[in-house]
Structure 1
Amino acid sequence: MEPTGEPGATRAWVIHPELTSDQERRDAGPALEEAVSLALALPGLEVVGSQIVRLPKPHPGHLFGTGKTDELAALLKANEIELVLIDGPVSPVQQRNLEREWKVKILDRTGLILEIFSDRAATREGVLQVEMAALSYQRTRLVRAWTHLERQRGGLGFVGGPGETQIEADRRAIDEQLTRLRKQLAKVVKTRELRRAARAKVPFPVVALVGYTNAGKSTLFNRMTGAEVMAKDMLFATLDPTMRGVDLPGGRTVILSDTVGFISDLPTQLVAAFRATLEEVLGADLILHVRDIAHDETQEQAEDVLAILEDLGVDEDVPLIEVWNKIDKLDDQTRAAYLTQADRTDEVVAMSAWTGEGVDALYPAIDAALSVETREEDLLIPFSEGRKRASLHETGVVLDEVQTEDGWEITVRWTDKQANQFHKSHA
């Protein structure tokens, strides 16, 4: 592959270890391509080359066998490599031994994704979550130093560091820092919950964009809202959810939420750390699952997304529309086949967020999915419970109100979801 990066950038090499004994392993070609994309998402790196290394089983001390370790050492030296990105888990012992053998810095998949998340996080909550994930990761290993890249950018200490000496993390200090960060995060999350509660009083349904990273969610978000959310052909371009109001052609107003992209083998520390961010999806009235339909592994990516949604506890009753994005990248025959297939169901829209083709068909699909049945109900609210009455008026469900000796007799028209939210919030 052609080297990438700017002059003075850190020279990096990407390795995808293919464990041949793993029957459920991903196809090595697309996996390596994704790993290179991850590396390109980190500023200050020049990806000089990449390769797949087949392994019958991981060597406990070096990950790779002796012969392959020596072979790679010569290759890395010849290419003047400073950083090796290994697309998979690397134990602290393996990392230490490989760094000694190869005289380079080693970064595994978890460390790389943490670095990217650190570079991308924009909100206070996102920054705190990344710091907590990084500390949990650091707790399992020595934090090694590497000055070259630190002079160019900040980071978490995996890529940059204060010198060439090895630093042993003090677990007690890390635990104390984690406790402090959890308290700060609790305050931020509480503020977020108050905002979410305020939004719940507004009678606008929430539509959440989800999908594999780089599927085109932010591009679609920008086209639908006119917002200037960063939308680049880069993994993890969006890390903090952005919400905007959108007026549908039929007159309905919805709140559109853009979320962090999902990815296979997401480090467990990050699944936990970003759970609060992804919980925006839990409150959604409709999910738009944006797929890069032109990607070779679009089906596998879709399965990864659905698995994460299930892990999050998203209600199966929440309607979901599949948005087959990037049809502009398909050849004419394949594109026609996808368009025909999408036309046969109300739960799929084929389109290109980049060119705008097919986007107009998404609006009526959203409207139809949100057109749930409503029912009328008569409520008696005592005078002592004025907050209940106020919340009904704030959500816009009141049809009629009569004041009696016992309180307010209020007639409402609402959905089952609105009724459940009302009774739950005033239980």
Structure 2
Amino acid sequence: MIFGRFTQCSLISIRCLSIGRPEVATTSSKFANERWSVLVVHPKVRWGSGSASVLKQADRQLDEAVALVNNLPNMIAVEYVTIFTLWLYIRFYSSLIMPVDYNTKRKSIWATGNLEKLVARREEARATALMVNVDVLSPTQQEELFRIFEVPIFDRYNIVLSTFKEFARTDEARLQIALAEIPYIKHRIHALSSKRLHSRPEILHIEQQYSEIEGDLNEILRKREQDLRRDLKEATRKSAEQVGVKNSSDAVVAVVGYTNAGKTSLVKRLTGAVSLTPKDQLFATLDTTRHVAKLPSGRSAVFTDTIGFLSDLPMHLISAFEATLAHVKSADVIIHLRDVSNPDWKAQEEDVVATLRSIGVADNVLTERMITVDNKIDKEGAINASESINSVRISCKTGDGMSELVELLNEKVTMATRCKTIRLRLDVRSPVINWLYHNEFVVVEPIVDGNNLIFDVVMNESEVGRFRKTFAHLRKKSHE
């Protein structure tokens, strides 16, 4: 029985909920140091409304699930099973696709025949855990599958949340992860307390200490959520202050895309931020980072590098990252980065756009203020997918296409922020000249015309109003 080791890993602790203000670090425990061999199974719905989009290939969905498991340092997907016979040995890929009819809502997901095949495969692979590639299993399903397979049962929610915990580096990220756990905790505790299940809490990834909580559990969880949101608001404020944004008129450019599309590499290319370290890793970025750069127009833009999107995630996991995704909703321009070297790029695009809509990004923003950027064109197999005037092909690795992107970005930011070019003819002694330089409106040196200097500056409506108010006294003198 493997359960003795299971109690140490991936369990959500709620001891801290009962008293006082909770510490973020104790909301859930990390995976134990012991290594887990995981059999990954993708339940392919063959027909009906529960079947996947036609853009999604089951084998690629399985590959992504295997990559998610292998992304955790203490987990490894079982790759091959070797069966020896008298004359030869047979070696086959262990993780597999197992068909299911209509949907994955059945208590055991699969019918008896397929379950028997899976049990045999797990034993052959000597897997110590099972990952079912669905967004989130119900408590009843986790209980039933544990009874059948007698090993820990994980879903995408468990694996992704554990990945978030592993790679989170700031309070802002850790607080959002803690918020994401609350609906999961609440659902499973209520299922256990209702006596509908006969499981031990650790089977549902909940620590045994839940039974020691005294008082109204709903109220305890509500208070904890309230505390987390307050702390998150403060952490987000401090993070924004550290960016070095000079004024509220700076444009915000949100860089979004599927996980591992190259968002961090792009922001580093655009801003030259030395603090950014791109990694070829799923969810390498969990903490929203903000970096300021000057556009050719002279406008400052704040580029936000956000968490990567992923298919088949529960909505409450996405909504918990509201502080991160708020930058996307309020952005002046959105850059949607696509990895066109990935055979599944079209399905990934579908997931990204669906996620943007689910968090409240309007359709007119997607069509008018979003730039589609096709990355990794230097890689073998990269396709030519750009199909509109709002798209551009680049390689963050080689720099190809970056000048075209900057030009398009400059145009979009100018339009989104309602900026216009203003020509000013000023006497060389005018105090306006020092003001223009001090506020960094001068991008191109002025044209000399006798005792006058001719400036072409870019301002938005707010800046024009501030300019007129500052120098209203000069206008009065000129009319006297």
The CA deviation string for residues 262-302 of structure 1, in whole angstroms up to 9 with x for no partner, is 11222122122112210111221111110111222212221
Letter in 2 for 1:16: H
What SS does the corresponding residue of 1:314 show, helix, strand or coil? coil
Mapped contact 1:216–1:292 kept (Cα < 8 A): yes
Alpha-carbon distance in 1 for matches of 2:39, 2:375: 31
- 1:80-159 alignment, distance < 5 Å: 80-88=126-134, 89-141=136-188
User: What amino acid does structure 2 have at the position aligned with 1:17?
Assistant: P
Q: Secondary structure at the match of 2:42?
A: strand
The equivalences for 1:174-193 within 5 A come to 175-190=219-234, 192=236
SS in 1 for 2:229: helix
SS at match of 2:269: helix
Q: Aligned match of 2:371 in 321, 324, 336? A: 321
User: Which residue identity does 2:74 align to in structure 1?
Assistant: G
**Within 2, Cα distance between the matches of 1:158 and 1:118?**
20
Change (3 A) 1:359 1:99: same
**CA–CA distance in structure 2, aligned partners of residues 194 and 304 of structure 1:** 31
Q: 1:194 and 1:238 mapped to 2: Cα distance? A: 19
Deviation at 1:87, TM superposition (A): 0.6
Alignment of 1:218 with 2:264, yes or no, is yes
C-alpha separation between the residues in 1 aligned to 2:308 and 2:156?
16
CA distance in 2 between partners of 1:364 and 1:207 (Å): 14
Q: 1:132 to 1:399 in 2, by over 3 A?
A: closer
Opposite residue 38 of structure 2, the aligned amino acid is A
In the alignment, does 2:105 pair up with 1:55? no
Counterpart-to-counterpart distance in 2, 1:121 and 1:223: 23
For residues 350-384 of structure 1, give each alpha carbon's deviation from its aligned partner in whole angstroms, at most 9, with x where no partner exists. Answer: 011123222232111111112234479xxxxxxxx
Q: Are 1:346 and 1:365, in contact at CA under 8 Å, matched by a contact in 2?
A: no
- Structure 2 residue 290 is the aligned partner of structure 1 residue 246: no
Which residue of 2 is the match for residue 294 of structure 1?
Answer: 341
Distance in 1, matches of 2:175 and 2:475, equals 45
Cα 1:264–1:409 shift into 2, 3 Å: farther
> Kindly tell me: are residues 322 and 223 of structure 1, through their superposed partners in 2, closer, same or farther at Cα, counting changes over 3 Å?
same
- The one-letter amino acid paired with 1:218 is T
Residues matched between the structures, number? 366
AA of the residue aligned to 2:377: I
User: Using the alignment, how far apart are the partners of 2:281 and 2:238 within structure 1?
Assistant: 32
Name the structure 2 match of 1:366.
409
Highest RCO, 1 vs 2 (Cα 8 Å, sep ≥ 6): 2
Q: Deviations over 1:205-257 (max 9, x none)?
A: 11110111111111212222333334222222111210011123454321111
RMSD, matched Cα:
3.5
Distance 2:210 2:396 in 1: 47
Distance 1:122 1:320 in 2: 29
Alignment counterpart, residue 27 of structure 1, candidates 34, 41, 57: 57
Cα displacement (A) at 1:313? 2.1
The answer to whether the aligner puts 1:208 opposite 2:254 as a matched pair is yes
**8 Å contact 1:212–1:291 — kept in the other structure?**
yes
1:259 aligns with 2:306: yes
TM-score after normalising by structure 2:
0.67
C-alpha separation between the residues in 2 aligned to 1:166 and 1:100?
22
Percent identity between the two aligned chains = 30
Relative to 1, partners in 2 of residues 1:307 and 1:200: Cα closer, same or farther, differing over 3 Å?
farther
State whether residues 175 and 231 of structure 2, in contact with CA within 8 Å, keep that contact through their aligned partners in structure 1. Answer: no
Residues 70, 208 of structure 1: alpha-carbon distance in 2 compared, 3 angstrom cutoff: same
Task: Output the CA distance in 2 between the equivalents of 1:274 and 1:40.
Answer: 24
CA contact (8 A) 1:142 1:166 kept: no
| Cα 1:358–1:278 shift into 2, 3 Å | same
Q: SS at the partner of 2:253?
A: strand
Q: Which letter maps to 2:467?
A: L
Quote how far apart the aligned CAs of 1:100 are.
Answer: 2.2
Distance 1:297 1:410, change over 3 A: farther
Q: Deviations over 1:150-193 (max 9, x none)?
A: xxxxxxx889887xx79769694465144224223224315635
Counterparts of 1:276 and 1:158 in 2: how far apart (Å)? 31
Aligned-partner residue type, residue 52 of structure 1: I
2:40–2:133 Cα contact (<8 Å) kept: yes
In structure 1, distance between residues paired with 2:130 and 2:475: 67
Larger radius of gyration: 2
Structure-2 change in CA distance of 1:248 and 1:324 (3 Å): same
Partner AA of 2:162 in structure 1: E
What TM-score does the superposition give when structure 1 sets the normalisation length? Answer: 0.75
Alignment partner, residue 77 of structure 1: 123
